[in-house]
Amino acid sequence: MVPRGMHPVSFAMAYLMAAGLSAQCGRPTPPPGGFPIDYTPTVSVSYSDGYQSFGSLLLPNVPAPACGWPLVVYVHPLGGSRLDEPGLRTLLAEQGYAVWSYDVRGQGQALVANSGHANEGSTLWGPAERHDLAEQIAFVAAEPVWQGVIDGGRLAVIGTSQGGAHAWLAAAWSGETIAWPGRTTMTFPQVACVVPRALVASSPDDWLRGGELFSSWWIEAVTGSYAALPLDPAFVQQARTAFVAQDPASLAAAWLAEGRDLRARLAASVVPTLYGHAYLDLVNSPLAGIEALASMAGSTRAMLGTIGHAVPVNDLEVEAAENLILRWFQRYLWGEPNEVDVEVRHVMSELPLDGIVRDDPSAAWNRGFHDDLTTPPTAARLFLHADGSLAAAVEPSPTSATLSQVVDPQASLFDPVSWFDVPAARDLATVLAACPLAEQVWATTVSSDQRLVRSATLHLELTPDASAWMVAALLTVQPPGGAEVMVAHRALASRTSVAGVAEAHDLRLPPVAVEVPAGASVRLRLRNLWLQEFPMAQRLDAAPIFGDFEVAIALGDAANGSWLDLPLVAVAPRLVVERQTLALDTLNPVTATLRGGVARAGDPYFVAVGLSGQVPSTPYLGEWIPLDVDWLVAASAASAASYYQGFLGFLDAGGEALCTLDYSAVAPLPQYLNGLHLTMAAFVWDYQWAPTGKPSNACELMLR
């Protein structure tokens, strides 16, 4: 029975919250808008090699709980400072965390303070920076003034780009002994969880694509594109020697000896890892990070979509990422059983093909949850044909397509030495003049609205005529009347092939979520140069092969031909919300849009909302609705109550419907519900009173 005087919605929320409270030192409840913040702007920290860095601390300005505030160490992007991403750092502190940030070696205030120091140069998150991070954590945990206030035993590391690399290495080295010449041997502090963003897990995966190609971004960084960033001379010389010799294997071996290659360590790590990456990130795709997560024994999740280098900034995606980070910290730093660790592993935002929508920071991108991102065995196998088509039928007359690279013998800057030493040599116009782009294109037209939500895989049977060669693959979608959009890209390369000897290669493309409308062209572009474009600014993703080559690509049947495994699935209803957070003091109405697609115009639907999350999902008409049934779900499903406007109805002529969740009449709700989240989902019947239909994705609203 609901207690007298308590609204049913309030009672349901309070009951569920009480059921989930930890018996340990509980997380203090932030007030509306969060705790007031105490800011310590500048603290000097000296490393064991005599280098001086500087840190800043954001701390809730209220009495600390008996167990202290958990410690979150934030590491900034390359070329930045400890003052970067103030919104994220402030949010974390307001919600009950001690947030420490510091200037990475060679950057921020440390750049000026250490001019002339023997170790002033950055090694780009190498052994020096690994030691620096460990000593920063140890400093904060041991500082007398913070004893009893900060609990360094509940530790998270979070960062973006360069900071993301630091978070990955914290997961890889947690609890391990670290040693390096000139530094004090120590045990890397035990890490409770990490949040790496916008960088793949292991440097060799980024800098040496496929172990054979040198990343263009990395070459720019090493040769000084960050003008104010001093680089370690030994690191630069090591890079130059290997690049001039076109010997990536020597670099891979050197980096393994330095502990930069984190793959084996991450595979043994049990540190919970929440990964964020953009599909079209300027630096790299999310694939290597996703593969690292798959190898890890601990709890892992990923959010893929918009947040990264030189990609459209979407405010709703930023808010959703922040909510997921808060839930991750609540689970692993406060011990709250909020199910974030058992939900579907990959949160994927659907890349809009329309540039106006893609670039609109307020646009609500569709979002889904997917467990396995590898290419499914049910993927459509499309063979490469001599007429440029991608088709389910095999090529009737086995033949080959030729991809050739012919370098202008008169080109004066197209060689490894010039490429490394002369910035003009890397200018794209200069490169294309010396080494023209060669391309083979295959295409298919999609007959009905579909979605791509996993990795495609390219199988190539090829025969090179040289030991060194490259084949770059771009997968693009062009909707009817719209612009062509690159949705995934990757490259194959070798430096040890035997001319005239056939080779078979399977290349997994990065996963992406994107709608492919009826009439759209899906194209596979194979090139001699690895270019990003559509809608990225055209640029080289990796340095080219500096010589002529020709690759014959076999076209034929399953035994001898080449094909693309393309995992397209039918379009399902999608639910999106206009914001990601619900303030407990006001409970302002939230409008959600149900997008069923034109093919479902006029179909009936219902919406429900609950407080128990997505796990376990609820069976309905042979499908699974991503809602764990609780009192609130039962009360809201298809309800006509004033709190649930449009929760039952018919999709309009465009296949859409609006619904509004309005709890404003019962505001405010108790602040101890802070950190819980509402989950909304919908179901669309195939027709009125149909025994079949499809559920939507889940949408989450964090209560703060």
Grade residue 228 by pLDDT with cuts at 50, 70 and 90.
Answer: confident
Q: Could you tell me if 560 and 578 lie in one domain?
A: no
Would you call 522 helix, strand, or coil by DSSP?
Answer: strand
Domain of 668: which CATH number?
Answer: 2.60.40.10
**Dist CA 19 CA 70 (whole Å):** 23
Is 4's pLDDT higher than 50? no
Residues 277 and 405 in one domain: no
Burial class for 295, CB neighbours closer than 10 Å (0-12, 13-18, 19+): middle
- In sequence order, which residues have a C-beta less than 8 Å from that of residue 568 and are 6 or more positions away? 379, 380, 446, 450, 451, 452, 516
The Cα-based distances of 658 to 111, 578, 601, 647, 689 in angstroms read: 53, 11, 13, 9, 21
> In the predicted model, is pLDDT for residue 17 greater than 80?
no
47: containing domain? 31-201+263-343
Rounded to whole angstroms, the Cα distance separating 540 from 548 reads 18
Please tell me the least confidently modeled range out of 298-302, 351-355, 535-539: 535-539
Rounded Cα distance between 495 and 370, Å, is 36
* Cα–Cα separations (whole angstroms), residue 524 to 439, 442, 550, 566, 622: 10, 5, 19, 11, 36
Calculate mean pLDDT across residues 201-223.
96
At 556 the pLDDT is 96
Copy the structure tokens of residue 200. 């793949």
What pLDDT was estimated at residue 597?
92
Number of structural domains in the chain: 3
Please check whether residue 223 lies inside any domain of the structure: no
pLDDT on residue 469: 98
Tens-place pLDDT, residues 118-174:
999 999 999 999 999 999 999 999 999 999 999 999 999 999 999 999 999 999 999
Spell out a b/e string for 246-281, using b for 16 or more CB atoms within 10 Å of the CB, else e. bebeebbeebeebbbbbbebbeebebbbbbbbbbbb
Same domain, 528 and 420: yes
> Among candidates 512, 477, 543, 537, which has minimal Cα distance to 310?
537
The pairing of beta strand 273-278 with beta strand 300-305: parallel
Q: Are residues 545 and 593 in the same domain?
A: no
pLDDT in tens, 517-534: 999 999 999 999 999 998
Domain boundary among 535, 569, 603: 569
**Range 30-35 average pLDDT:** 96
The pLDDT of 618-631, averaged and rounded, is: 97
- Is residue 581 assigned to a domain? yes
pTM of the model: 0.96
State yes or no: pLDDT of 371 exceeds 80: yes
Q: Tell me which residue has tokens 């993703």.
A: 541
Could you tell me if 292 and 151 lie in one domain?
yes
Residue 5 makes CB contacts below 8 A (sequence gap 6+) with: none
% of residues, the chain, pLDDT over 90: 95
Higher model confidence: residue 560 or residue 226? 560
Q: How confident is the model at residue 227 (pLDDT cuts 50, 70, 90)?
A: confident
Q: Is the residue at 224 inside a domain?
A: no
- Mean pLDDT in residue range 554-572: 96
- Angle, helices 86-94 vs 315-332, to 10°: value is 40
Task: Calculate mean pLDDT across residues 287-298.
Answer: 97
In this structure, the strands spanning 513-516 and 346-351 are parallel
pLDDT higher than threshold 70 for residue 321: yes
Written as one letter, the residue type at 557 is D
- Give the CATH number, domain containing residue 436: 2.60.120.260
Q: Which residue would you say has higher pLDDT here, 203 or 13?
A: 203
Same domain membership, residue 317 and residue 431: no
Quick check: helix, strand or coil at residue 645?
Answer: strand
* Radius of gyration in angstroms for the set of CA atoms belonging to the chain, rounded to a whole number: 27
Residue 352's pLDDT band (cuts 50, 70, 90): very high
pLDDT tens readout for residues 87-122: 999 999 999 999 999 999 999 999 999 999 999 999
Give yes or no: residues 594 and 547 share one domain: no
Q: What does pLDDT average to over the chain?
A: 95
Kindly give the interhelix angle for 127-142 and 162-173, rounded to the nearest 10 degrees: 80
Work out the pLDDT band at 18, boundaries 50, 70, 90: very low
Is residue 578 located within the same domain as residue 649? yes
In whole angstroms, give the CA distance from residue 229 to residue 221. Answer: 9
* Per-residue pLDDT tens digits for 586-621: 999 999 999 999 999 999 999 999 999 999 999 999
Position 80 pLDDT exceeds 50: yes
Domain boundary among 552, 569, 586: 569
pLDDT of 283 over the 60 cut: yes
**High-pLDDT (> 70) share of the chain, %:** 97
Please determine, for residue 1, whether its predicted confidence score (pLDDT) is greater than 50: no
The pLDDT confidence band at residue 16, using thresholds 50, 70 and 90, is very low
Whether 79 maps to a domain, the answer reads yes
136 and 120, same domain (yes or no): yes
**Domain shared by 490 and 628, yes or no:** no
Asked whether residue 594 falls in the same domain as residue 523, the answer is: no
- State the pLDDT confidence band at 187, using cuts at 50, 70 and 90: very high
The CATH number covering residue 160 comes to 3.40.50.1820
pLDDT at position 24, please? Answer: 57
Residue 629 lies in a domain: yes
**Both structure tokens of 63:** 């009495």
Q: Is residue 165 part of a domain?
A: yes
In a domain, 35, yes or no: yes
Contact 609, 639 (CB under 8 A): no
Average pLDDT of span 452-458: 97
Among 541, 569, 597, give the residue marking a domain's end.
569
Predicted local distance difference test score (pLDDT) of residue 20: 41
Average pLDDT of the residues in 306-318: 93
In a domain, 18, yes or no: no
| Residues 97 and 177 grouped into a single domain | yes
